[in-house]
Structure 1
């Protein structure tokens, strides 16, 4: 069983079901309104935990109803929440998800307390980081906190995984302490300037990321699959064909599920990606982030 620590975002999701995105100046009705737990960090943590990883979370919520509900959701999924701090007058992060009839989504984020994670929060979580096989971070929290936690991880031989979402400029300090980077095709294009259309363009993009300092790369490409490049090998894992109703948390499910299976030396990266791909294919068939994330049993049944 892998031990996974995640430093990241906790959001409460408000999901607006619509036919399509409105044009400028247009007023249009919703088809549905629902809510669910979410946030890239929380999604990835639950995906790891449901796949059997011993999982701890480092983050911050407000002492509001959303914060209380999110702490309960994480705890119900066997995630160690002892290093999630609660800010008395803080506002827990929120995400407003515009879910189109096609299953595609657009997301508007209110960062809230996710943006208030401090150096002190990282220091207080150092034992959880030291105990982990993998430390995962995303860009919905301050980059300085990611750098601090990744340095701590490297000092203790913990493998670091960076999900550069939403895409931001990558600093040299962060790149040199990132062991594995996992962007999607849009984020990869923003980071490298190469539009991902097939395996060849994914390879070109991955090579640029390696030149920037990250030795191991996985680019998730939706229906095109997932392309990986390590120091030793590379390849494309095809996506499974399913009827997608909501792509929310598909990438987060992939990352969390992957971390539960991956060896620290990446020796089984192909098999871990195949497992994570199957997990994502299950996620997109259900509306909502956390409610859609499958268990290990569901994933293994899908593989069979």
Structure 2
């Protein structure tokens, strides 16, 4: 099924990832010898936009890069994925965002993001793009950019009755007024804990945290649980959606692939449970490859994966 133009608008970050592979992360004051280094295109916004586009969605992205080599590379990469880039602006003052990523032997990662040009996208910029937001069937955001800008974008979408997916990463405390305008909140366990003010370390506490977030006005909370899948909590109750355990090579962009897939499936009219199950499969495929954008699967790969699992 082909979806129409501007079905998904992603408002988010574009970063160049500097990836180091090592057996383990160093302790404070310790120097280790790593196994490999690579530059890889990423940024949570870019990852989510590419994830949705590779699954067949028509995607437009709103963001900002620097006037530098990384920025030029990011624009070319996003354009080559078929994503509309006319609303990705170029900063005259800030460098393109970068992320320092350490990937351990078991595939787990530790990330430090320097937002750079991403943080320059302002409330005024997003207000000027209200017409673009108004054309979307769903809006996708994260928290690697200016928080006031994100709040404004969500307010515009809410006013226009456009569903909003908010991936609350990097984790931070958010205003209740902002949360009350979110259709689908997709925290992992750590993020759910920060947003709810409680410790989340089990399926039971994940549900408790999600119910606190429902009380703040979120319509649907989807807590991602890694290989264990995801937990949907809304007014209808709580539903665990099983994951697809695989050997993790690199967990960078696993959550981003989930969010891009979730948006694409919801645009196609899938039920929330169907959309989350499909997104779990996309996330499982993403952790089986190295890199952020390079790890994101095509629709044909996901369909083949699901067909194998159903046999």
Query: How many angstroms does 1:230 deviate by?
Result: 2.2
Equivalent residue for 2:12, pick from 8, 12, 22: 8
Partner of residue 260, structure 2: 256
Instruction: Out of 89-98 and 192-201, give the one that drifted further.
Output: 192-201
Q: How does 1:277-292 map to 2 (within 5 A)?
A: 277-292=280-295
In the TM superposition, what are the counterparts of 1:163-178 in structure 2 within 5 Å? 163-178=167-182
TM-score where L is the length of structure 2? 0.94
Report the alpha carbon displacement of residue 112 of structure 1 after superposing the two structures with TM: 0.2
Is residue 11–residue 95 contact of structure 1 (8 Å, CA) maintained in 2?
yes
Query: Aligned partners of 2:56, 2:124: CA distance in 1, in Å?
Result: 29
Q: How does 1:49-198 map to 2 (within 5 A)?
A: 49-198=53-202
Distance in 2, matches of 1:290 and 1:92, equals 16
Secondary structure (helix, strand or coil) at the match of 2:131 reads helix
Say if 2:9 and 2:138, in contact at 8 Å, map to a contact too: yes
In 1: Cα distance, 2:162 partner to 2:25 partner: 42
Taking only aligned residues, the RMSD between alpha carbons, in angstroms, comes to 1.5
Give a deviation string over 1:84-118, Cα, whole Å, max 9, x none. Answer: 11012320000010011110000011110111101
| Distance across 1 between alignment mates of 2:160 and 2:217 | 20
How do 1:196-275 residues align onto structure 2 when only pairs under 5 Å count?
196-262=200-266, 268-275=271-278
Bigger Cα displacement from structure 2, 142-151 vs 196-205: 196-205
SS at match of 1:246: coil
Q: CA offset at residue 267 of structure 1?
A: 6.5
Query: Could you tell me whether the CA contact under 8 Å between 1:83 and 1:124 is conserved in 2?
Result: no
Segments of 5+ residues of structure 1 without an aligned counterpart are none
Aligned counterparts of 2:135 and 2:300: Cα–Cα separation in 1: 26
- CA drift at 1:133: 0.9
Give 1:157 shift: 1.8
**CA, structure 1 residues 48+125, in 2 after alignment: closer, same or farther (shift >3 Å)?**
same
CA distance change for structure 1 residues 263 and 50 in 2, over 3 Å: closer, same or farther?
A: closer
Going from structure 1 to structure 2, the CA distance change for 1:71 and 1:11 (only over 3 Å counts) comes to: same
Is the contact made by 1:139 and 1:165 (CA closer than 8 Å) also made in structure 2? yes
Q: Which moved more, 1:279-288 or 1:267-276?
A: 267-276
Write the deviation string for residues 175-197 of structure 1: whole angstroms up to 9, x where unpaired: 12111111011111122233334
The alignment partner of 1:262 has SS state of: helix
Post-superposition offset of 1:123: 2.5
User: In the alignment, does 2:295 pair up with 1:298?
Assistant: no
Counterparts of 2:177 and 2:45 in 1: how far apart (Å)? 22
Alignment deviations for residues 196-230 of structure 1 (CA, whole Å, 9 cap, x no partner): 34332221111011011112100001122100012
Could you give the per-residue CA deviations for residues 225-250 of structure 1, whole angstroms, max 9, x where no partner exists? 10001222431111111110100000
C-alpha distance after superposition, 1:138-196 (max 9, x if no partner): 11001111111111112222101111101111112211211111101111112223333
What is the aligned residue count? 303
